[in-house]
Amino acid sequence: MTSRTSFVASSATLALTTVLTTVLASVLNTAPASAAPAADTVPSLVEPVLIGHRGASGYRPEHTLAAYELAIEQGADYIEPDLVSTRDGVLVARHENEIGGTTDVAEHPEFADRRTTRTIDGRSVTGWFTEDFTYRELRTLRANERLPLVRPDNTAYDGQERIPTLDEVIKLARREGVGIYPETKHPTYFDSIGLSLEEPLVAALEKRQWDDADDPVIIQSFETANLRDLDTMVDVPLAQLVDASGAPYDLVAAGDPRTYTDLLTPAGLAAIASYADGVGVNKDRVLPRTGGATTVPSAVVPDAHAAGLVVHVWTLRRENQFMATNFRIGTDPNAPGDLAAEARAFLDAGVDGIFSDNPDLVAGVLDAR
C-alpha cells in the first residue's frame, strides 16, 4: 500500500472519512447546471477521497481482483464493484449484466444457446446475461478488457481472472484496509425478474460485519427507490448517482417526470438528503463544457454542500477522448492527456471525491495538496 493509502485508509481514519463522506456518487454525461460565479478555489466539504473506478481499470481488465489490488497499491481509498446477480442470487462484480464484451463467454460453445435479447431499462440488449448463469457456471469464464482498441496493453491480461463475487471484494478490501463503494446495477430490472439486489447486498455486509454507519462502505445507485429502501435496511452511507442526461429508470417506469437535472436543483438535493449522504455526479455536471472545453464551475457543488451532501465526480480517465479539450495533449484520442490538471480543476471546484480509472495519477495530485 502507498503511504497515502496507509494514512487515509487506516481503520479509524477510513471510518471517519466514511462518516463524513456519507454522501457520494457517480454520474455519466453532460448537462450543465446553472452556472455559479467564477471562483479561484471552492473548499471541499471533507478531505477528498479517491475511488478506484472498477479498480485500476486503466491498467487491468475492469472488475477483476487484479484491478482492485492494483487500485489499492496506487493509493485508492475505496474500490468500486458494480453489482449484478447470477441466476442463483450470487452478487458478482460486472459493469453490466450483459457480459459478452467483458468475458470470454463467446468462446464457450456450451453456452452458445444462452445468447439472447432482453429489454434492460427500456433498451433492447443482445448478448449473454449473468442472470442466465449459475454462479458455478459463471466461474468457468474469464475476464477480458472491455476497451481493447483504447487500452491494448490491458489485453495482455485477458483470460487470467475470474469474475469476483461481492464477498471476495469485501474480503480483499478488509485485508488491505480500504473501503468499498458498491453500485447496484439496474435494480428495477432485477426486481422484475425476482433477483432483488438489496437483500443479498445487505446480507453480505452483515456477514462480514460491515453494515454500520462507521464502516468504510458507501452504496450507490442511479435509481432512487432502491436507495430509499436501503436507507431503512442498512446504516452505511448512501450516494445518489446523477447522470449527465436522462432520468432514474425507476422514476421513468413509475411515470414520474423528474429527471437527473431536477435532482440537482436545491429542492431536489434537499430530497436526496432525506435518504442519502452524498451524490455521485457526471463530471460535466460540475465543470460544464462550451466548445469542448470546461467553463466555470456550475452550482452543483455549493448547492449540494448547502444540503449537507458530499459530491463525488466520475470518471477521470487519462485518455484524451475522455477529457475536455483543454486537458488534452495532442490529437491522438487514445494518447494520455493531462489527467493531473483535470484532477486539480475538479478539486479546485470543491468536490469531495474522485472516481478514476488511473488512481496513481490522481493520488499524486491529492498528495501534493
Q: What is the dihedral of CA 59, 64, 67, 72, to 10 degrees?
A: 170
Helix, coil or strand: residue 103: strand
Judge whether 360 and 56 are in contact, CB under 8 Å.
yes
Residue 107, phi-psi category: left (phi > 0), alpha (psi -120 to 50), beta (remainder): alpha
With cell 480543476, the residue in question is: 345
Query: Is position 186 annotated as part of the catalytic site?
Result: no
- The amino acid at 77: D
With cell 468475458, the residue in question is: 103
- The amino acid at 64: T
Judge whether 80 and 182 are in contact, CB under 8 Å.
yes
Which triple of cell numbers denotes residue 133? 448463469
CA 107 to CA 220: how far, in whole Å?
33
> Among residues 63, 95, 186, 305, which one is catalytic?
95
> Among residues 53, 63, 186, 305, which one is catalytic?
53
Query: Is position 63 annotated as part of the catalytic site?
Result: no
CA 331 to CA 10: how far, in whole Å?
41
Could you list the active site residues? 53, 95
